[in-house]
Amino acid sequence: MGRIFVKRARDRWANTDCDILLLMLSITTLPIGIFDSGVGGISVLRAVREQMPEESVIYFGDQGHVPYGSRSLEQIQNFSETITRFLLEQGAKIIVVACNAASAAALKYLRAKFPDVPFVGMEPAVKPATERTQTGKVGVLATPATFQGALYASVVERFANGVELFQSTCPGLVQQIEMGNLDGKETRRILEEALLPMLDRNIDTVVLGCTHYPFVIPLIQQIVGDTVRVIDPAPAVAKQVGRLLEARGMRNSSRSKRDVRFYTSGDADGLKCLLPLLSGEIGGEVEKVEWLDDHVIASEGLSR
């Protein structure tokens, strides 16, 4: 397993002085690869950094294609496969699909395509919600791709017996968050349209089924009040990443805080400006990549 990833890291620097250096590196020092349709996966990145600051991270935000929620299954699979290959070429030792829509549409596909690669995906937090609800009524906020996917249907079938779920796709919310509008009038309007009817039905728990949505938890909490629990899946996902790295002997034992590299298929300067708002102290270089078609990414400065 280690040889596969070290070779991929080495391939990036083929015929350079870095070749020998990378061959000497332990797999534990290779980065975690995280991707999302846009900035939403930064909510997962934050949790990973809080729990594992010693791990290097590569983040890919496919802002040129955001949102994924209304795209076809085949297109999401194509994007996800190409981004995964890109992250592996940068030496990623594990891939975190920090996007509910991509997890629903492509996680099973990716595991079949890359059987030697460990993946962690997003699963709507229906199980913990149904375990904690007192009223038996739970609200779920997610994109159409998540609600229509087999993964969501499976989770509901397994864990939602006896619990009533109220669903909303929150049209336009992802775009507002991508613009950094976390508490403006339009963002509030979208959330109120989704949540107020649910409150009328006596929900006491809200599940966030999109990695973008944790950025508006303060606004959601203002709308639903302190008696309604809001479940952010990011900390649980980060814990699973840590468990998987530990089980495979990939966890970095260093005590030094490592760096984060960002790639975007959108506006690199725009993402860099958003990072302080979305990630707190997490910063890093942001590099622009270009999609040549649904299967090819080109990035300046990298050997392709």
pLDDT tens-digit series, residues 123-174: 989 999 999 999 999 999 999 989 988 889 999 999 999 999 999 999 999 9
For residue 57, what are the β-bridge partners? Answer: 32, 260
Strand pairing partners for 296? 293
What pLDDT was estimated at residue 294?
Answer: 84
| Structure-token match 């070749």, residue found | 19
- Confirm whether 99 is a catalytic residue: yes
Answer yes or no: 210 catalytic: yes
Which residues make Cβ contacts (< 8 Å) with residue 254, sequence separation at least 6? 29, 54
CA gap 298, 294 in Å, rounded: 12
pLDDT value for 295: 87
- Give the active site residue among 18, 170, 210, 273: 210
Q: Which domains does the chain have, with CATH numbers?
A: 2-122+235-299 (3.40.50.1860), 126-232 (3.40.50.1860)
Q: Which H or E run contains 260?
A: strand 260-264
Residue 199 to residue 202: CA distance in whole angstroms:
5
Exactly one of 18, 99, 170, 273 is catalytic; which is it?
Answer: 99
Closest CA to 102 of 87, 81, 85: 81
């260093």: which residue's tokens? 254
By the 8 A CB rule, do 84 and 95 touch? Answer: yes
pLDDT tens, N- to C-terminus, the chain (304 residues): 333 333 444 344 444 445 544 444 578 899 999 999 999 999 999 999 999 999 999 999 999 999 998 899 999 999 999 999 999 999 999 999 999 999 999 999 999 999 999 999 999 899 999 999 999 999 999 999 899 888 899 999 999 999 999 999 999 999 999 999 999 999 999 999 999 999 999 999 999 999 999 999 999 999 999 999 999 999 999 999 999 999 999 999 888 888 999 999 999 999 999 999 998 767 778 999 999 988 889 876 543 3
